[in-house]
Structure 1
Amino acid sequence: MTGRVYIAVLVYIAWVVLYLVWDYSREQSRIYEKIDSTLTTSALAAPLLLPYSFHHRDMKPGDIDPANDLKNTLQLSQYAQNTDAIYLYTLIKKGNTVYFTSSSATEAELASGKELYSYFEPYETADPRINEVFANKVPLFLDITDKWGSFRSVFIPQTSPDGSFFITAADMEISQIESLLNQRLAQQLGLAIIFLLFLSPVMFTFSAAQRRWANNLEASVRKRTRELHDSEKRLSSIIEHSPVGIFHYNQDSVITMINQRFGEILGSSDKVLVGFNMLDKLTDEKLRAALQDALNGKVGLFEGPYVSVTGQRKMYLIAEFVPLRDAQGQINGGVGVFNDATEQQTTTNTLKKLSMAVEQSPNVVVITDKSGQIEYVNPRFTDITGYYPDEVIGKNPRLLNSGETTAEIYGDLWKTLLAGQEWRGVFHNRKKNGELYWAEEVISPITNNFGEITHFIALQEDITEVRRISDEINFQTTHDSLTGLLNRRQFENELTRIVEHAHNHHSHHVLCFIDIDQFKIVNDTCGHMAGDDLLRQISNLIRDKLRRRDILARPGSDEFLILLENASLAQGERVIQMIMNDLKKFRFQWEDHNFQVEISAGLTVIDPQTSSAISAMQDVDTACYTAKDAGRNRFHIYNDNDEQQLIRKGYIQWASEIHHALDDNRFQLYVQPIVPLQKKQNTGYEVLIRLLSESGDLVAPGAFLPAAERYNIASQIDRWVIRNTLQWMAKNIDHLDHIDSLAINLSGQSLGDDALLGYIIRSIEQGVVPARMIKFEITETAAIANLKDAQIFIRSLKSLGCRFALDDFGSGLSSFAYLKNLPVDLLKIDGIFVRDIITDPIDEAMVRSINEVGHIMGMETIAEFVETDEIMERLRQLGVDYAQGYTISRPRPINTILDTATATAETSSEQA
């Protein structure tokens, strides 16, 4: 027996040695596989860290300056320090020489301060086998030695975007690999020593106690018997308190013993269950089949929903029936194991649903380990990025990095995640095909039961289209759709910023306002498409004269705004003068038409004394229209003491007052009678307007209407007058039988307002006021300036029954030439001819001519500014149809018309 023991010992030692040799060989292969994988990952990362298209066919020494080469070195070095590789670099071959195009550096090399320029540095000690990679374009792992040391290296061929060839490489020191292998060998030797040390006391004990074993054998047997009895008791206790139900049944399938858990699962007691014949009483066919398998000598298995015989218990049951045999091999019963897996099944079903939800999620789902290595991606990841799971599993998500996300964002990301908090943000990522996309990400840490972070899960949504639409909407809200320039609102934001900068940094800037002279001629002659094209061409011409940091905007219509940052007034003058000089040479061509374009411009300085952006806009606007009033095609510089500009500033103040009056309904209606001179008929009235100031004073229209015309508010006033006049007439329609009509004045701006025209038509058609009682007056100059719009406006309302009078007739240079193109009913002779008709024969001749031409064309005539009875009598002799002026009545509130109606009614009653 001793010989056998020693043989067993020798076999044991031989087995340990063989195992150690085999395990060391296997571990060496595994370490080299891991090292080669690390080197490959690191080498493939190198081109991603370098600028896009860094490698190209025309590379030559000196292309990259030392600063950019150092930047590339630091990028590669930072990445290498986070890996096991000591060097990352790229190579190209020119002729028979191999050159470095980039290379990382160790921490010691970086700290030494020596020159690290590696671009086109000859690799003088290059291993000749590297040429095989250039020749065969196949990756190669080599153990090499050069002037930097001995390394395990990988050389991977790569192709740049333009098709040129280069190699990306990574090195790991041989000494580091040997250290890993030696460390493993030491572990294995330590393990062998432990095995042998474990064997030594056994051998020692065997040798010393060999004789005692025989003597103590009987005692040991007795002790073992007692232990078996104790073990049986423990086994019974374990069975009794097992978390699964266990029972024994005999060869007739009668239950003979159960544990406590079995009774709990079925909701019954041992009194009921012991003696239960399963084959006779089980109703579930699949469960009976599993039991029958066990009685036939096979292990019976059942899994699925189960309802107890009593119907009181429903569960998801996992059952196993194991046959037992006697000494002769005959089946004499078996052991059953029941486990209520309802809760686990519910959890499993939930997990399946969650898994399906993740798999079919419209969003990208990525799970990484704690170090950031990808462990799972769902199918949506492939749809969005183009990478398949086997291409990214085990790699870092930085392979999606486009290089446009700042290091600060990544720093904040890791700081937040490692603190156990959720991080949200937006990345500009790169797909496999190089296409960029925007991704909104929510990254959360996953912890175990101890609160330790084990994984990270990232939910990513492709918001590229959303960003595109958002950018497009943002562009549309901040830019003029016609020219692509900033719109007024965005320009005012920029102007506010510049004014604040001037206040805080005592800087100086120049604000310019440009208005195109006679732009309306192009629109009226060639149409709005021509006008739009002209605006685009002029915006390009102006933009060519500006610096990149200057701001150009089109606030609307035919106006442009320029903000010259950090510029002097002299620079602003030069810019405007250059634009004007270019416009002198510029000719706008549209079909057969040729136009010369001129501009008027205003300039103002923005400095620490500028009170606000609003005041700067008011100043430059005033300066521009001072230039326009001075004769156009010139520019004017704002000056607080300039008389013309003070007038313009008054316009601005009136414009503000008009807006407030419209909001507060502070206008009032007045009327002045228009009486017939040739025949007996009802009196008509001209509707006039007054503004009630905040102090309660009435303001005549001559004070505020010029400002309304200048700042395009006139049509809003017209709408107020029309609305309130028609409402007043509708309210008092039963008391207006004594009047002929009410005449409402319209500005030139209203003639082209389609919305106002539509409003008037609806009001007349839906109202109770007869159209014949509504008359509109438009000035001759407004009608001529807006001839096409005026014709449409007049014809549209005349078709309803309204009448039109041409006001201030005779003041224009071409009055009679235009008259036949305007289908009006009355001519209102300009008061400058009427006022001196008694003393000036030329004025009398003008009145006579206008009256005669009007009658020939089927129109009636009205003379205004009739200030004496003598003038009125002379007009009657000349055949003028109506008169209006102070000799008849001064303007009075509109409600006085009702007083006139009462007086007329009383007079008629007395005469009766």
Structure 2
Amino acid sequence: MTFKTTNKVYLAVLIYIVWVVLYVVWDYSHEHERIYQQIDNDLISSAVATPLILPKHFHHKGMQPGDVMPEEDLDNTLKLSRFVRSSNIIYVYTLIKEDDTIFFTSSSSTVTELQAGKNLYNYFLPYDDADPRINLVFADQKQRFLEITDAWGHFRSVFIPRTSPDGLQYITAADIEISQIQTQLNQRLIQQIGVTVIFLLFLLPILWTFSSAQRRWAKDLEASVRERTEELHSSKAFLSSIIEHSPVGFFHYDQHGTISMINQRFTDIIGAPSDSIVGINLLEKLTNEDVIDALNESLQGDVGYFEGPYVSIMGHRSMHLIAEFVPLRDKMGVLNGGVGVFNDVTEQQATTDTLKKLSRAVEQSPSAVVITDLNGNIEYVNPRFTDITGYTADEVMGKTSRLLNSGETSKEVYHDLWKTLLSGQEWRGVFHNKKKSGELYWTEEIISPITNNLGQITHFVALQEDVTEARRISDEIDFQTTHDPLTGLLNRQQFENELAQTIEHAHQHHSHHVLCFIDIDQFKIINDTCGHMAGDDMLRQLSNLIRDKLRSHDIFARPGGDEFLLLLKNASLARAEHIIQVIMTDLKQFRFQWEDHNFTVEISAGLTIIDQNTDSAVGALQDVDTACYTAKDAGRNRIHIYNDQDEQQLIRKGYIQWASEIHRALDENAFRLYAQPIVPLQKEQKIGYEILLRLLSEQGEIIAPDAFLPAAERYNIAPQIDRWVIRNSLQWMAKNIDNLEHISSLAINLSGQSLGDDALLGFIIRSIQQGPVPAHMIKFEITETAAIANLKNAQIFIRSLKNLGCRFALDDFGSGLSSFAYLKNLPVDLLKIDGMFVRNILIDPIDEAMVRSINEVGHIMGMETIAEFVETDAMMERLKTMGVDYAQGYAISRPVPIDTILESTALTTV
């Protein structure tokens, strides 16, 4: 009976051992699969995140070596390196394929590589020993997990095909060392073996329970025991070997807490040699109160447990420690110490912390995050999703994402989405969705498939960004970019686009249209009388009046100022002329009122045909502009139809061509400075010069200003020319300041349009104040007619610069209708007598009297006088006798390039 009972005990023990072993084998297999799945998920997460870390549009068609500077590439390397530093991933990188060669376009580096100062330039680095299977990823655009060996080591890698917004195919990849995977598996195996040992130790109480029965037949088994003693010794050696090589630290301590035995892993964890550890009393040495409490629990018969940051007392190693203290009893059940198990899980804890951070990042992401199963059923949403849509997580869990469908997004978008996702690729796009409240909103989404370790798609993750406000702002910007802010009409650029499309349509379909240019007559009167606010209001009212007379498909624009453009589509010339006549008739009844003022409004209009013979939008606009200003020149308030044989239109068209040439000269710096001397007639003093302008044509011809300045005045380009002349003249004077001792001053001409230009006045003041040229050497010339036409602006302009020390000359004096009446209101220093009087002083007594009177009035007012157009020595002698202060003209010198006046022999009399 006793023998049978003992056999049952041993059978139960055997079953227990078999169960423990089977459980360990099953658990190891399950853990093996879990570790690989976790590693593969980490690889995918790291690879998918890599393009988000790189600069926007980093991958694009036409990538070439040298596109990215070394410092930019190094910055990318450092960003990627920092990203993988807190994970088990060793490398993340991106690849492209050109011809048959695979190139790196970015890559992380290890800490060792960074510290070694290794060449970290990865952009277009050839991947010489790339595994041939990577080519299959480029070929079929399917994600793969590969175990590869190359110059950097032996890895398990994931390769995920991606496509840039402009269609470039590339791969994003991540590596983990095989040795690291193996280490994790070995650690788990050894840990399970250790756990098995502990479980087997639990059998001791059972064996002791049946020890009485064993003693009764002990003698019978004594021989058998002796025979098996050696086997037990062998087993003990085997168990000791397992413990010695366990991935966790084992140590034995007695009932007083003194360590009697340790394994190698324990010394590694503590960081001290075994001979310094064995024999120490833990109760006396330990300083961590939580560890002491766990040890005392074991000495009291309970299992003690500790987890947390720990610093070893012997080796002073910092770690995240998991420790168990298991009590041991002798055969009498008396506590005689215990077994301690130490496990350093610092790296695992870092990984856990990283995952927690990632989880918090997802929870606190400014973008909505949605995870669905294969059927689109929602399994997770973050708080931002609720903020955007109004749906809580409970309300959408288990429901399909179709509950956000507003019906505004086309079916083609959804078809493309599912086709892309089910092929394993990432999808990007925009949806017009509906919130819980019914409000529509725009969302920009990135949806990616999630795969398991077998590469099978299991879920989808979507990142949603609410771009409603951005779309609204974009629409506003688009409107502002294409429309006039004052009237809401199309601006010039957009009108030109519409006109170009209409011309193309006319060429293809032989359609007929009419282009109209409208200019408001005497608009300046309203601005000058009532201010710009009144002018703006009148423009708005007039634009509404004209718009009411147009058809829905006609195009109406305000290119600027007081001008309007009409494109009357599919209209005859007669129909267009009738529409403009109707507008003119309505304007006769229209009165613009502003405060106490009442104005009539008239327009001038030019028309031109748009058909298959129209060359271009630019040419058509030039033609209609010419026609409009021909109408204004003919008396205003009328219509003129463009005719390429009309003489007045040919002149106007020439202005347009000169305006284009002026813009070219400004862009290409094709103007040239010339100078003509102004010599003293009454006393010995230094010579002055007037700076004159010439234009260098594309054919290399020097063109005088009479040819192009009328066009500059007509198209308001004169201030730009003045700015060029002032800037280049002052720069030339500053450069040659040491060689200008023989020159009294240099005179710069200003147009009438510049007198009211506050920006130009500020530019001149800053240039003089910040430059080395003394202000008394700078003289400005303005024409009498320009000064009188802009009297208030001229007074401000002149006084501002005279305060700096500059001087002013009134050019062409005598040509105005009320010269002497206005002269006292202009604080100028010199009068330049108009050349039409000077030219005939030897033969015309009236001209001589005019010169004499201008000279005398100027002197009375404290001004000096200059006679221009002095063409002979006799004229110069007569002017000297009359008391004129200075002379300028061909009798002294023709205009010469400005650098010539630096030479002492520059002055040549003719």
TM interval, shorter chain, is 0.5 to 0.7
Alpha carbons 1:263, 1:270 under 8 Å: kept: no
> 1:294-693 to 2 correspondence within 5 Å?
295=301, 302=305, 304=307, 317=322, 342=345, 349-675=353-679, 684-693=688-697
How far does residue 638 in structure 1 lie from its aligned partner after superposition? 2.4
Task: Say which SS state the counterpart of residue 394 (structure 1) adopts.
Answer: coil
How far does residue 276 in structure 1 lie from its aligned partner after superposition? 7.5
1:274/1:583 Cα in 2 relative to 1: closer, same or farther (>3 Å)?
A: same
Counterpart residue identity of residue 403, structure 2: L
1:898/1:228 Cα in 2 relative to 1: closer, same or farther (>3 Å)?
A: closer
Task: Say which SS state the counterpart of residue 418 (structure 2) adopts.
Answer: helix
Counterpart residue identity of residue 787, structure 2: A
How far does residue 483 in structure 1 lie from its aligned partner after superposition? 3.4
Distance in 2 (CA, whole Å) between partners of 1:370 and 1:738 is 90
Task: Say which SS state the counterpart of residue 380 (structure 1) adopts.
Answer: helix
Counterpart residue identity of residue 805, structure 1: A
Distance in 2 (CA, whole Å) between partners of 1:338 and 1:662 is 85
1:754/1:251 Cα in 2 relative to 1: closer, same or farther (>3 Å)?
A: same
Aligned: 1:757 with 2:761: yes
Look up the match of 2:703: 699
How far does residue 422 in structure 1 lie from its aligned partner after superposition? 1.4
CA deviation vs aligned residue, 1:68-100 (integer Å, no higher than 9, x gap): xxxxxxxxxxxxxxxxxxxxxxxxxxxxxxxxx
Look up the match of 2:725: 721
Alpha carbons 2:892, 2:907 under 8 Å: kept: no
1:893/1:360 Cα in 2 relative to 1: closer, same or farther (>3 Å)?
A: closer
Task: Say which SS state the counterpart of residue 421 (structure 1) adopts.
Answer: coil
How far does residue 684 in structure 1 lie from its aligned partner after superposition? 4.2
Look up the match of 1:100: none
Counterpart residue identity of residue 433, structure 2: N
1:493/1:454 Cα in 2 relative to 1: closer, same or farther (>3 Å)?
A: same
Q: Identify which of 782, 801, 811 aligns with 1:807.
A: 811
Distance in 2 (CA, whole Å) between partners of 1:355 and 1:736 is 75
Distance in 1 (CA, whole Å) between partners of 2:871 and 2:799 is 34
Distance in 1 (CA, whole Å) between partners of 2:856 and 2:827 is 17
CA deviation vs aligned residue, 1:750-784 (integer Å, no higher than 9, x gap): 22233332333334344454433433221222223
Task: Say which SS state the counterpart of residue 669 (structure 1) adopts.
Answer: strand
How far does residue 419 in structure 1 lie from its aligned partner after superposition? 1.9
Q: TM-score, normalised by structure 1?
A: 0.64
Task: Say which SS state the counterpart of residue 637 (structure 2) adopts.
Answer: coil
Counterpart residue identity of residue 458, structure 2: T
> 1:150-299 to 2 correspondence within 5 Å?
231=15, 234-235=18-19, 237-238=21-22, 243=28, 244=192, 245-246=195-196, 247=198, 248-249=201-202, 250=204, 267=245, 284-285=291-292, 287-288=294-295, 291=298, 295=301
Distance in 1 (CA, whole Å) between partners of 2:644 and 2:866 is 44
CA deviation vs aligned residue, 1:498-546 (integer Å, no higher than 9, x gap): 3333334433333333333333333333333333333333333333333
Task: Say which SS state the counterpart of residue 460 (structure 1) adopts.
Answer: strand
1:722/1:455 Cα in 2 relative to 1: closer, same or farther (>3 Å)?
A: closer
Counterpart residue identity of residue 585, structure 1: Q
Alpha carbons 1:683, 1:740 under 8 Å: kept: yes
Alpha carbons 1:738, 1:901 under 8 Å: kept: no
Distance in 2 (CA, whole Å) between partners of 1:477 and 1:614 is 20
Distance in 2 (CA, whole Å) between partners of 1:817 and 1:269 is 110
Aligned: 1:798 with 2:798: no
How far does residue 795 in structure 1 lie from its aligned partner after superposition? 1.1
Alpha carbons 2:248, 2:341 under 8 Å: kept: no
Distance in 1 (CA, whole Å) between partners of 2:680 and 2:852 is 17
Counterpart residue identity of residue 451, structure 1: G
How far does residue 839 in structure 1 lie from its aligned partner after superposition? 5.9
Greater RCO, CA 8 A, separation 6+: 2
How far does residue 379 in structure 1 lie from its aligned partner after superposition? 1.4
Task: Say which SS state the counterpart of residue 434 (structure 1) adopts.
Answer: coil
How far does residue 380 in structure 1 lie from its aligned partner after superposition? 1.5
How far does residue 884 in structure 1 lie from its aligned partner after superposition? 4.0
How far does residue 567 in structure 1 lie from its aligned partner after superposition? 3.7
Alpha carbons 1:251, 1:333 under 8 Å: kept: no
Distance in 2 (CA, whole Å) between partners of 1:258 and 1:818 is 124
Aligned: 1:826 with 2:830: yes
1:272/1:676 Cα in 2 relative to 1: closer, same or farther (>3 Å)?
A: closer
What is the Cα-based RMSD across aligned positions, in Å? Answer: 4.8
Alpha carbons 2:249, 2:343 under 8 Å: kept: no
Q: TM-score, normalised by structure 2?
A: 0.64
Counterpart residue identity of residue 523, structure 1: N
Counterpart residue identity of residue 567, structure 2: L
Distance in 1 (CA, whole Å) between partners of 2:771 and 2:903 is 24
Counterpart residue identity of residue 722, structure 1: I
Distance in 2 (CA, whole Å) between partners of 1:803 and 1:353 is 73
How far does residue 704 in structure 1 lie from its aligned partner after superposition? 1.6
Look up the match of 1:178: none
1:285/1:635 Cα in 2 relative to 1: closer, same or farther (>3 Å)?
A: same
Distance in 2 (CA, whole Å) between partners of 1:446 and 1:649 is 67
Task: Say which SS state the counterpart of residue 813 (structure 1) adopts.
Answer: coil
CA deviation vs aligned residue, 1:796-854 (integer Å, no higher than 9, x gap): 12222322222233333344443333222333333344445566666556555545554
Counterpart residue identity of residue 564, structure 1: L
1:261/1:411 Cα in 2 relative to 1: closer, same or farther (>3 Å)?
A: farther
Distance in 2 (CA, whole Å) between partners of 1:730 and 1:388 is 72
Alpha carbons 2:694, 2:704 under 8 Å: kept: yes
Look up the match of 1:160: none
Look up the match of 2:714: 710
1:406/1:756 Cα in 2 relative to 1: closer, same or farther (>3 Å)?
A: same
Distance in 2 (CA, whole Å) between partners of 1:766 and 1:303 is 76
Task: Say which SS state the counterpart of residue 550 (structure 2) adopts.
Answer: coil
Task: Say which SS state the counterpart of residue 413 (structure 1) adopts.
Answer: helix
Alpha carbons 1:829, 1:863 under 8 Å: kept: yes
Task: Say which SS state the counterpart of residue 445 (structure 1) adopts.
Answer: strand
1:305/1:719 Cα in 2 relative to 1: closer, same or farther (>3 Å)?
A: closer
Alpha carbons 2:484, 2:490 under 8 Å: kept: yes
How far does residue 855 in structure 1 lie from its aligned partner after superposition? 4.5
Task: Say which SS state the counterpart of residue 412 (structure 2) adopts.
Answer: helix
Task: Say which SS state the counterpart of residue 559 (structure 2) adopts.
Answer: strand
Alpha carbons 2:252, 2:339 under 8 Å: kept: no
Task: Say which SS state the counterpart of residue 788 (structure 2) adopts.
Answer: helix
Alpha carbons 1:258, 1:270 under 8 Å: kept: no
Q: Which runs of 5+ in 1 are unaligned?
A: 1-220, 905-912
Q: How many residues align?
A: 679
How far does residue 681 in structure 1 lie from its aligned partner after superposition? 5.7
Q: Which runs of 5+ in 2 are unaligned?
A: 29-191, 209-231, 260-281, 284-290
Distance in 1 (CA, whole Å) between partners of 2:237 and 2:374 is 44
Look up the match of 1:202: none
Distance in 2 (CA, whole Å) between partners of 1:251 and 1:616 is 107
Distance in 1 (CA, whole Å) between partners of 2:294 and 2:374 is 46
Task: Say which SS state the counterpart of residue 641 (structure 1) adopts.
Answer: coil
